[in-house]
Amino acid sequence: MNNSSKYNKDTLYAQAHEAIGAFQFDESVVAVFPDMIQRSVPGYQTILAGIGELTQQHAQPHSNLYDLGCSLGAATLTMRRNVEGKQCQIIALDNSESMIKRAQEYLHAYHSEVPVHLHCADMTQFKIENASVVVINFTLQFIDPDQREALLKTIYQGLNPGGILIVSEKLHFEDDALQTSIEHLHLQFKRANGYSELEISQKRSSLENVLITDTEQDHLKRFKKVGFQSAGIWFQAYNFASFLAIKAF
């Protein structure tokens, strides 16, 4: 997001908290969100650029594009820039009212001929139809694991033949040695971006039981199970990856 000057530096966990509550996407997170995601997720900007490229390749005329768990609309913006002239509309949703309020302001700051409809809604309850591109950028990991397959099935059914689903996630690895080593790379990335040991450990506690990761194999199995014939990783940085699943024509 390039107008990050409107947003503050993430210092939410810089001071010691007496008790760490479960992480919530509230007003305090919204105020620092672009800085937080940029300093915590390796490859975030590259993934956004790739979402733009994939949108350009796969968006079908007169279809719907979805950004599920849009936060401030970073993926929506990159899709919007790459779909002009195709008479598509973008439907972006998030179940945090604070996020949607700010996304509204942010998206309206730029002119575009592509309509964007923002909804404060739970993606597990939302209808997907006539879709050619569906993006879930770092949000499936916050959905109850028991609901993930049903959500993907709904998306598969709402996609047109040739349509795509992009899912970006934090991953874990079955192999303990691999898990330890790659997680260490991510910790070093956060340290290099200025997060202290206190911030890292307090954030980790707050995300426990809130952000629940799958393995690469879990994702690939689920894509196949709900019907996608083609699915694989198109980008990976340490334990953060983005998958592309394509519905056959």
Q: Which of 70, 77, 159, 246 binds ligand GEK (CB under 6 A)?
A: 70
Q: 106-135: which residues touch ligand GEK (CB under 6 A)?
A: 122-124
- In 86-239, which ranges are E strands? 89-94, 116-120, 131-137, 159-170, 230-237
Q: 21-60: which residues touch ligand GEK (CB under 6 A)?
A: 25, 37
- Largest Cα–Cα separation, the chain: 55
Nearer to ligand GEK, 55 or 137 (CB): 137
Cα distance between the two ends of the chain? 34
Cβ-closest position to ligand GEK: 69
Q: Mention every residue, 6+ apart, whose C-beta is less than 8 A from residue 200.
A: 187, 190, 191
In whole angstroms, how far apart are CA 230 and each of 65, 162, 164, 248? 19, 11, 10, 8
Q: 146-185: which residues touch ligand GEK (CB under 6 A)?
A: none
Q: Taking CB under 6 A as the rule, which mask of x and - marks residues 86-105 in contact with ligand GEK? A: -------xxxx--x------
**Interface with ligand GEK: number of residues (CB under 6 A):** 20
Name residue 69's amino acid.
G
DSSP 3-state of 123: helix
Nearer to ligand GEK, 156 or 240 (CB): 240
Nearer to ligand GEK, 209 or 249 (CB): 209
Interacting residues toward ligand GEK by CB under 6 A = 25, 37, 69-71, 74-75, 93-96, 99, 122-124, 137-139, 142-143
